[in-house]
Amino acid sequence: MIKLAKYLKPFLIGLIAAIVLLFGQAISDLSLPNYMSNIVNIGIQQNGIEHPAPDAISQSAMNLMTTVMTANEKQLLDENYELVSVTDKNAEGEIYKSLYPNAVAQIYVKKDIDEPVNLALDSTFETSTGTLMNLLLDMVDQHGQDSPGTASTVSSGIDLTQLYQAQLMLETLPETKIAAAHEKAINNETSLKQSGIMFAKAFYDELGMDISGMQTAYILRVGLLMLAIALLGGLATVLVSLLSSRIAAGVARNLRKDVFEKIESFSNVEFDKFSVSSLITRCTNDITQIQQLLMMGIRMICYAPIMGIGGIIMAVNKSVSMSWIIAVACIVLVGMIMIIMAIAMPKFKIIQSMVDKLNLVSRENLSGMMVIRAFGTKRHEKKRFEKANGDLTETNLFVNRVMVSLMPIMMLVMNGVTLIIVWVGAHQIASSSMQVGDMMAFMQYAIQIITAFLMLSMTFILVPRAAVSAGRIAEVLGTKNSIDEPQNPKYFNAAKKGHVEFKHVHFRYHGAEEDALSDITFTAKPGQTTAIIGSTGSGKSTIASLMLRFYDVSTGQIIIDGVDVREANLKELRSKFGYVPQRGVLLSGTIASNLRYGKKDATDAEVETAAKVAQALEFISEKPEGLESEIAQGGTNVSGGQKQRLSIGRALAKEPEIFIFDDSFSALDLKTDAALRKALKEHTGDSTVIVVAQRVSTIMNAEQIIVLDEGKIVGCGTHKELLKDCPQYYEIASSQLSGEELA
């Protein structure tokens, strides 16, 4: 995977943008439970009252609260509250009267202050209300229910009228007692905010404020904010999906381009190493696996850790005491994921090999359908396909069953965690150490953390298989070509146009124990036909492959126009040849496009001439569309002889310096063969013609005939000379020609 990381560089800006958007999406998702907690805690339970420090308070209530405050706390209130009149007949008075209809004469109103000061005031009122509650409870313990206001205030809620009656008693308490109650309140932080909010509500009720309206306004405000955040998160999700899809598609496109170009640069040595079916799988299925990983991975691999870590932080902030629940859940999930991955990962490499095998069997069946039908082996081939397909299906099913088990495990853990949180949270709510909204938020964060693990587990399905695919693609891209372009290529000698020379050439196939060719030395000159003949496996086609540099010689030299083929530019070298292989290969398109394949700018007259010389014009003219007739993939809609003639016509249209006909007349009848050879002799002119053949009649008029036997030259000369001097040639000729022709 790391070797292919460079393919992400062109999309680095998009990748960074996607990650930034993922952070935005995560922040959005992580903030929603907190706002939901506020709606429950503040909007519902606290009637929309956010601060224990009230925005307005009556003079009587202020005197009551300052009774139990320290000097510093009193000073903080003096600095941040101002005494205003609600009876003034001005605009300000009218506003205060509408907000606080039950207010009498003067009230204290909070000044416009910043957040830190507001928090300090909240803390002051929380501590004061806690101190007051502690003192009232002490009075109940000491004096029973005879103390004015204490019993009813403690048992049935905040009754300011009763508290005002108890204020005289509070003022007579020693400072040490008030200080002790103050210290006790500070140490009991869990109930401070709740008691502060209870008193704030009582202060607002005393002034006649619209608590219900305040509650509705708060819920609507926070709800609309949550909706806006959710919309932004949704927008980020859509943009991330768009970016990840574009990045994945772009990387796949570039990978396919480079893999295809690399395969095009392979010599026959590399094609011997990689099977065609494997290369097809690597260009398609393997690259698709990487594309899927990037498309899903950018969204999940980056998003899941952000959500997981962020969820843990937010959950711990809500309740440290319940964080052990998440820790246990994470340990269980990580353990299960590791076990499942250990079982599934070894299978992914096997799956890709099985895809190769299935492609191989399918390709052989489709390309060899006529042979299969002719030999009546359809049932055997069907069994081969069923075995390859069945093995792949069984392995895929095994992996899918293992991976699918993650989902129920995740759901079991998620539901179990939810139950535990409700159980533990209910006890903490009962003891006033947690609020309902906080428990609900903690539950949401726990679900988000488990969902993050679920997302990671889903990527674990893609990562191992994509890693195997990446390794297979990197193997192709990292393969060192056995035939490379020379760094400083030499230029061909124009004076030796079409001159071919073999000098003591030896060649051995990779892994072979013996040379395929030994000490091959000959010269092919322009304007002449050099024929190569020999028994099957004697190395005839290998000589043709060495000229085109499909393979490199083991020792010796092949010199074309005065330059060693290993020192020439490959494109320039091969542009000199018109090559017709043993098996005619046609590409999908038209007859004309196939004939122009070697020379794109060939005129209609040149194409027609090439077809005429190749003896193909007769059958072309019989087709309704002539040269524009369609050729199916692989040339399956023309006969073997027609395919060979079109392949010969393609080489002729190129008008090269050197023609190589590698047993290219085998599918032609004798009459067409003779006509073709006669036309070729007239058309090729000064070009060098090298003919590899099995039929003596095809080459008997060549200026030079080379006879091969077991990779060695055993004869070289004309037809008549070889009949006299070369027993191997005579043996071949006598098996094909009559006694009169041998005479």
Of the candidates 91, 84, 35, 75, which has an alpha carbon nearest to the alpha carbon of residue 55? 84
pLDDT grade, residue 179 (50/70/90)? confident
The sheet that has 704-709: what strands, in order across it?
Answer: 577-580, 658-662, 688-693, 529-534, 704-709, 712-717
pLDDT in tens, 347-400: 877 887 788 788 888 878 877 777 887 788 888 888 888 998 998 898 888 888
Strands 630-631 and 704-709: unpaired
Average pLDDT over residues 486-503: 87
User: How does DSSP classify residue 499?
Assistant: -
Give the 3-state secondary structure of residue 704. strand
Q: Which two tokens stand for residue 523?
A: 């010269």
**What is the per-residue pLDDT across 311-332, written as a single tens digit (0 to 9) for each?**
888 888 888 888 888 888 888 8
pLDDT reported for residue 459: 75
pLDDT tens per residue across span 192-248: 777 888 888 888 888 888 888 888 999 999 999 999 999 999 999 999 999 999 999
Pairing of strands 500-507, 589-590: unpaired
Instruction: Give the ranges where 319-405 is alpha helix by DSSP (H).
Output: 323-367, 369-374, 378-404
The pLDDT confidence band at residue 151, using thresholds 50, 70 and 90, is very low
pLDDT at 152 exceeding the cut of 50: no
| Across 186-190, 272-276, 483-487, 583-587, least confident range | 186-190
The predicted pLDDT at position 154 comes to: 43
* b (16+ CB within 10 A) / e for 710-721: bbebbbbbebee
| Residue carrying the six token digits 């052990």 | 324
Measured distance CA(236)–CA(647) in Å, rounded: 57
Higher pLDDT, 632 or 21: 21
User: CA 575, 577, 578, 584: dihedral to nearest 10 degrees?
Assistant: -100
Q: Tell me what pLDDT residue 558 has.
A: 93
What is the dihedral sign for C-alpha 590, 595, 601, 607? negative
Tokens representing residue 40 in the block? 């429950």
Which H/E stretch holds residue 108? strand 106-110
All domains in the chain, ordered by first residue: 2-35+221-477 (1.20.1560.10), 46-209 (no CATH), 583-655 (3.40.50.300)
Contact (CB, 8 A) for 11 and 247: yes
Global pTM reads 0.72
Residue among 553, 442, 469 nearest 255 (CA) = 469
User: Is residue 613 predicted with pLDDT exceeding 70?
Assistant: yes
- Smallest CA-to-CA distance from 199 within 257, 159, 248 is with 159
What is the bridge-based pairing of β-strands 529-534 and 704-709? parallel
Higher pLDDT, 398 or 277: 398
